[in-house]
Amino acid sequence: MNAQRSHGGDEFLGIDTTGKSPVEIEREWFEKHYRGDVPQLTVRAVLIGMVLGGVMSLSNLYVGLKTGWGLGVAITACILAFSLGSILQKLGLFRSNLSILENNCMQSTASSAGYSTGGAITSAIAALVMIRGEHLPFWTLLVWTFFLAFLGVMMAVPMKRQMINVEQLAFPSGLAAAQTLRSLYAAGRESAAKARGLIIAGLVSVLGAFVRSNEFSWFPGFLRIPEMLEFPGTLGGHRLLRWTIAWDTSLLLIAAGAIIGIRVAWSMLAGGILNYAVLAPWMVKKGVITELGYRGIVSWSLWGGTALMITSGLLNFALQWGTITRAFSGIVGLFRPGRDHGGDNVSRSMEAIEVPSTWFAWGILIASCGTLVIQHFAFSIKWQMGGLAVVMSFFLAIVACRATGETDITPIGAMGKITQLFYGITAPANMTTNLMTASVTAGAASSAADLLTDLKSGYLLGANPRKQFIAQFLGIFAGSLVVVPAFYLVVPSPDVLGSAQFPAPAAQVWKGVAELLSAGLSSLGMTERWALVLGGLAGIVIVLLERTLPPRMRRFVPSAMGFGLAFVIPFWNILSMFVGAAAAWMGAGFFKTAADRYTIPVASGVIAGESLLGMLLALLAAVNIMK
């Protein structure tokens, strides 16, 4: 459906692109929808975006290390900024609330700060820390994080006019953010209700995490809630807790489940039952798993789960041949949409609001050189290897951005694994090269897709794309300056990663692939090899079933990503996320209007509240250690 709409025009704006040239399409948008008279890139919009994005980058870091998920921040930031502007207006600090396009610019800054800068840290960087057993130098990680996001933002520049202006790709999350902003500014009562729900949920979450924590010794013990509730009974002669089968009282995981959806959640539950209640006891009985608990079980089970996620991701990517073909056939078009605009006033005005090609040329040069220098001097990656990674990143980012535009799914995992597999062949014994070159590809693709999603929101609302680009670029600074120090606080030592506290499932997968490509299959035991084979085949079967079964049967096919993740995170996390997804699903069935209005704001509030308190506790722990 998305592909059809992308060729026929944009229903949101009422633009029909059939039979029209790129010049005519852009002229119609500029004349009917561009709102250059509305305030957009203001100091207050950027500052609010930096603050909100910085706060939400902490939340995403925490959630990413817990669950492997990266949660979009745009809609949450829009609601919070609207509410904050209303409060400051009532207090007399603002003459007026943020305009709808100021809020949109704020969203670009917040999204860049909260989402684009942390993905590499919870995946490739965390994997490298686990392998090396030590942290990277602070300044190395800070500059690396900045340049990866910078590279991705610059790569998105030539794609914008082709994918958004001309082809009118859907970018569903961008559409959702634009619809949210329109509803906020059209119905003040509804926006106030959403904001109230988000804030109340955040406060409840903070209170819940507070009474669960052991950090506050002065808090009465009889009011304290245990962090883990054990189930009665045994399995294989051992308490269920030893198999990670227990109830985690964290509200954060329940909220995360409400956002990821019921299909992914029930797939995780099914995979968790298979892994922890069936396969793990069997492997313990055979003497393959010699240590119970999360680390002991996952040291074996991650091989099957990793293989499943890799084969399913790569096959899904390959089967999107139409998207891939359109991506590469459109490479020439990326630089051509504004070439034949002529000299009329509208054409000159369009050129004045789009990001200039000179900005792209200088930006991509600086970002590429910075990335190359860091790869070589910080990670000892050969110049030619690093340069090839940057070139690969551009082409794979084009595919990732088109996939995001057509399906709302950014295949970051597939991008990273393609690069890992390539460097596993060209640099077979170097795990650092394997991880950090793949980090370039995945990080650049993620940032580019995030910027295009934000630019789609602005396009639908009539915003100035050049001003949005500047806002997004400024957000990189805020995100990098917040998320990097936070990583060192949350992970004071490498052994925290891969523990029950922070399973770091994304990093586990990256680490497993790097180790396997470095050492080869001979380094694995026979059961691990069988797990790789069977997990890989399961990933292929799931994808093929999704593609071939009739629609009414597909809902019974598990999500490959959800099923595979169940093999690398504790069962108590899986159970909590399933409960949250089931509650949201049932709520949508019985109270659709209320669920549509409150599910995302309430879940986002819960996640923000608990994760920020978790960050505060990590800071207190770090202070105590220094004392």
Least confident stretch, 10-19, 47-56, 126-135, 323-332: 323-332
Q: Which amino acid is at 557?
A: V
Residues 6+ apart with CB under 8 A from 123: 416, 439, 442, 506, 507, 510
Residue 52 token pair: 């909100």
For residues 521 and 436, which has the higher predicted lDDT (pLDDT)?
436
Strand partners of residue 234: 239
Find the helix packing angle between 172-186 and 74-90, rounded to 10°: 20
Given this model, what pLDDT does residue 340 score?
47
Q: What share of the chain is helix, strand, coil (3-state, %, to 5)?
A: 75, 5, 20
| Model confidence at 537: pLDDT above 50 | yes
Number of C-beta neighbours around residue 482 at 10 A: 24
For residues 480 and 252, which has the higher predicted lDDT (pLDDT)?
480
For residues 82 and 50, which has the higher predicted lDDT (pLDDT)?
50
* Dist. CA 522–CA 231, nearest whole Å: 39
For 301, half-sphere exposure in the C-beta direction (CA atoms, 13 angstrom radius) is 34
pLDDT tens-digit map of 246-304: 988 888 888 888 877 888 889 989 999 999 999 999 999 888 888 888 878 888 888 88
Of 146, 158, 76, 159, the residue nearest 116 (C-alpha): 146
Of 310, 314, 254, 234, the residue nearest 567 (C-alpha): 310
The enclosing H or E element of 569 equals none
| Model confidence at 369: pLDDT above 90 | yes
Residues 6+ apart with CB under 8 A from 592: none
Residue 233 token pair: 């009974």
Please give the backbone phi and psi of residue 497, each rounded to the nearest 5 degrees, phi first. -70, 135
SS3 of residue 5 by DSSP:
helix
Residue with tokens 């919070």: 80
Average pLDDT for residues 336-362, to the nearest whole number?
69
Given this model, what pLDDT does residue 234 score?
87
* Dist. CA 464–CA 355, nearest whole Å: 10
Torsion of CA 539, 544, 549, 555, to 10 degrees: 30
* Dist. CA 218–CA 520, nearest whole Å: 53
Given this model, what pLDDT does residue 370 score?
93
Of 446, 506, 498, 581, the residue nearest 305 (C-alpha): 506
* Dist. CA 179–CA 100, nearest whole Å: 11
Residue ranges of E strands in 141-288: 228-230, 234-235, 238-239, 246-248
Given this model, what pLDDT does residue 266 score?
92
| Model confidence at 324: pLDDT above 60 | no
For residues 327 and 402, is the Cβ–Cβ distance under 8 A? yes
Burial 412-438 (b: 16+ CB within 10 A, else e): bbbbbbbbbebbbeebeebbbbbbbbb
Residues 6+ apart with CB under 8 A from 110: 48, 49, 50, 52, 53, 56, 73, 74, 77, 81, 475
pLDDT tens-digit map of 539-573: 899 989 988 888 888 888 888 878 988 888 889 88
pLDDT tens-digit map of 119-154: 778 888 888 998 888 899 999 999 999 998 899 888
Given this model, what pLDDT does residue 187 score?
62
Least confident stretch, 273-287, 371-385, 437-451, 465-479: 437-451
* Dist. CA 37–CA 463, nearest whole Å: 10
Mean pLDDT of the chain: 80
* Dist. CA 420–CA 397, nearest whole Å: 15
The 3-class SS string of 133-162 reads CCCCCHHHHHHHHHHHHHHHHHHHHHHHHH
Q: Which amino acid is at 515?
A: E
pLDDT tens-digit map of 415-446: 677 777 778 777 777 888 888 888 888 888 88
